Amino acid sequence: MKVRVPNYFNEFKCIASECEDTCCAGWEIVIDDETHKRYENVEGEFGEILRSKIVKSDGENIFLLNNGNCSFLNEKKMCEIYINLGEDHLCYTCQQFPRYTEEFLDLKEVGLSLSCPEAARIILRRAENTTFNLSEEDKCENEIKEELEDDLSLSCENINSSNCDLCKSSNLKNSENSKCFNLRDSENNKFFNLSESENRECFHLKNSECNNSEVESFTEDEDYFDEGIDAEVLSEFLECRNIVFNIIERNDLDLGTKAALALEFVKEVQNKIDLGDMDEIPELMEEYRDENFINTLIKELECFKGKESIKHKNLCEYLNVYKSIKHINSNDPLGLEKALKYFEGNEEFYLRKHKEFNEYYKENLYKFKNILVYFIFRYFMKAIFDYDVSAKIKLAIISTLMIKELAVVRFIENNNEFTEEDMVEVSRIYSKDIEHSDENIENLQEIFETEEIFEVDEILPMLMNDF
């Protein structure tokens, strides 16, 4: 098996007591079946305590929460399971956090969650395009194992809040740990400028023909096939994602235009899927590799500029939609009430503050591109299970858009200032509040595909006017 990771992946080290957050609070941690069986056999008083604090929820075993914290987080902010049973008795999620894994066939992708403060700093800080490294599992797994051991010794034994937050990705409710992504060489090295190293292969996100070598290798052993997964569809979805990445990583367009192009492309892919014309997807992909076609489409998208009033109206509706979903606490963690207080019924103020923020933060706007790449990398290929690529790209784009809007609110609150730590805080709280709930992710995707306010023509004014 091969493992692909973002080029920043190995930069992560748990900062333990220096971290402003704790990994053991704010969401329900699902216990993998193997660990749960082990817990069933723990003897003595602690075994009884252990089992008494595990409940079934939606068919999954989870740790009970105590005032929002895991029941095994003691008063010294130390893990009682780690203390009493050792590292090998931690569930998969707790061992891996803030790393998440998406696995499919003989490919595995591992990333860092935006919800962890230190991981967020790493994800956000690079102005260069994100690249992805591919290596054999044995080598990569050994490296990750060593890092995990170091991090666990810090995060589980250290007094004070330990590393960060993500849990809800490696092994949370209704987890779909099954994905692979096919990134590859580019003919002209225009976008993802990747290279080869001694033991690790870096793939360039494609600008031309599909390299199906990874996908074709799946067919050599039928045992690799997951039930219901079509290798040819997988290949096409991988290629679609590569085209999206190539668009997003262009350096000659603003992020709003790039997001709009990606949205238009995926909309057309979804139309092919819905009409049963998936055999036409390769032809569609060729169109989006054609620079003349892209330039024509950009001109067509210009008609959505100057529609700031629609952007303002839609934003207020988006904020109310987000208010209606589940949150990690009742204290308005995202600041949605503040956003509505500032923006609802005040279009002039909203538009002015957006322009002021973009001017103030112009040297750092690439951070929002990094966020968009993060969400696409993490969610797009989940479409292999439901063929709903549209919901996945909307989740990525609207999540990035919402983080940008909440950043503007923080900018207002800070008297027109916005620091690096503000950016980390806004991003990781969104991730923790939204991504740590499978229910939220599922509900949002359904809303994005069923509510008129989230149709493509309603999203485009949001992107083409100072996104």
**Per-residue model confidence as pLDDT tens digits over 368-380:** 999 999 999 999 9
Residue 243 lies in a domain: yes
pLDDT at 352: 97
Residue 34 has pLDDT above 60, yes or no: yes
Q: What is the reported pLDDT for 95?
A: 83
- Amino acid identity of 37? K
Average pLDDT, the chain: 83
Do 22 and 137 belong to one domain?
yes
Q: Does 230 lie in the same domain as 285?
A: yes
What pLDDT, in 10s, does the model give residues 120-178? 999 999 999 998 888 887 665 656 555 555 555 555 544 333 333 333 333 333 333 33
Domain boundary (277, 301, 325) is at: 301
Helix axes 389-413, 347-360, angle to 10 degrees: 90
Q: Residue 94 has what pLDDT?
A: 85
Q: Do 143 and 14 reside in the same domain of the chain?
A: yes
pLDDT above 90 covers what percent of the chain? Answer: 57
Residue in the structure block whose two tokens are 């996945």:
392
Residue 205 sits at the vertex; the CA angle it makes with 167 and 394, to the nearest 5 degrees, is 55
H helices within 250-307, ranges in order?
A: 255-274, 281-289, 291-301
Do the domain assignments include residue 66? yes
Q: Are residues 105 and 230 both part of a single domain?
A: no
Greater confidence, 96 or 160?
Answer: 96
Query: Are residues 72 and 205 both part of a single domain?
Result: no
Q: Out of 155, 184, 213, pick the residue that ends a domain.
A: 155
Domain membership of residue 424 (yes or no) is: no
**Statement to judge: residues 7 and 133 lie in one domain:** yes
Q: Residue 434 carries which DSSP code?
A: I
Considering the domain boundaries, does residue 432 fall inside one? no
For residues 41-67, average pLDDT = 89
Q: Say how far apart CA 272 and CA 376 lie, in whole Å.
A: 20
- Tell me, yes or no, whether 151 and 218 share the same domain: no
15 and 146 inside one domain: yes
Q: What is the mean pLDDT of residues 290-299?
A: 98
The string of pLDDT tens digits covering residues 207-262 is 333 343 344 443 333 343 455 678 888 889 989 999 999 999 999 999 999 999 99
- Taking the C-alpha atoms of residue 404 and residue 402, their distance in angstroms, rounded to an integer, is 5
Residue 148 lies in a domain: yes
Query: What's the domain count of the chain?
Result: 2
Residues 33 and 132 in one domain: yes
- Give the residue numbers spanning the domain of 250: 201-301
Q: Which helix (H) or strand (E) holds 209?
A: none
pLDDT at 219: 38
Domain C-terminal end among 280, 301, 322: 301
Task: State pLDDT tens for residues 326-361.
Answer: 998 889 999 999 999 999 999 999 999 999 999 999
Residues 168/440, Cβ–Cβ less than 8 Å: no
pLDDT the model gives residue 265: 99
222 shares a domain with 116: no
> Alpha-carbon distance 239 to 208, whole Å?
10
Is the pLDDT at 186 greater than 80? The verdict is no
The span from the CA of 331 to the CA of 329, in Å, is 6
Q: Which residues pair with 285 in a beta bridge?
A: none
Residue 428 domain-assigned (yes or no): no
Residues 103 and 211 in one domain: no
Structure token pair of residue 333: 């963690």
pLDDT at res. 226: 54
Predicted TM-score (pTM) of this structure: 0.80
Based on the domain organization, do 116 and 216 belong to the same domain? no
Residue 436 lies in a domain: no
138 part of a folded domain: yes
